[in-house]
Amino acid sequence: MLNYTIKLKSRKKYFHFKRQIRAPQDIGNARLDIDAYNEVIRKQEENDVKNFFNSFSEDRKKILHSYTFKMRVPFGEFRIKIDQFNKLCDKYGEIFGFRPHFHVLDFSNEIFVKFRILTLDSNKLLNFQRQFAKDLYKIILG
């Protein structure tokens, strides 16, 4: 688990904002995703970042909070679980103000998935991250 805040150096331009909030898996070819990750999902993620930038700019905040954690997912029915993860991330996007993202980090008999939550309100992170993780476990074990 990694919990950190990002104190933005420049918050006026979207381009700078987007570069400052990138996670390592967002840079270059570092991300390992399933083949279902397509242009529609890329565009949705880009829209998510733009909407988050607009919220950030309107609230005139200087700090945003980021929390990442990894989970192991059994190989069986993985694609079904990915669809369920997406639906759950949509639900929690309304709570955190930014849809949580996830990336496949590695796979063999088990698949390692990294989740990332961004929010402007640290209280939402403290109050809802634990329930988000429990809901993910329900999907994994279900």
Q: Are strands 63-74 and 2-7 parallel, antiparallel or unpaired?
A: antiparallel
Q: Is the pLDDT of residue 130 over 90?
A: yes
pTM: 0.76
- pLDDT band for 61, please (50, 70, 90 cuts): low
- pLDDT band for 136, please (50, 70, 90 cuts): very high
Tell me what the mean pLDDT of segment 35-53 comes to: 72
d(CA 15, CA 11): 9
How far, CA to CA in Å, does 49 sit from each of 14, 72, 93, 137, 140? Answer: 9, 26, 12, 26, 27
Residue 131 neighbours by CB under 8 Å, 6+ apart: none
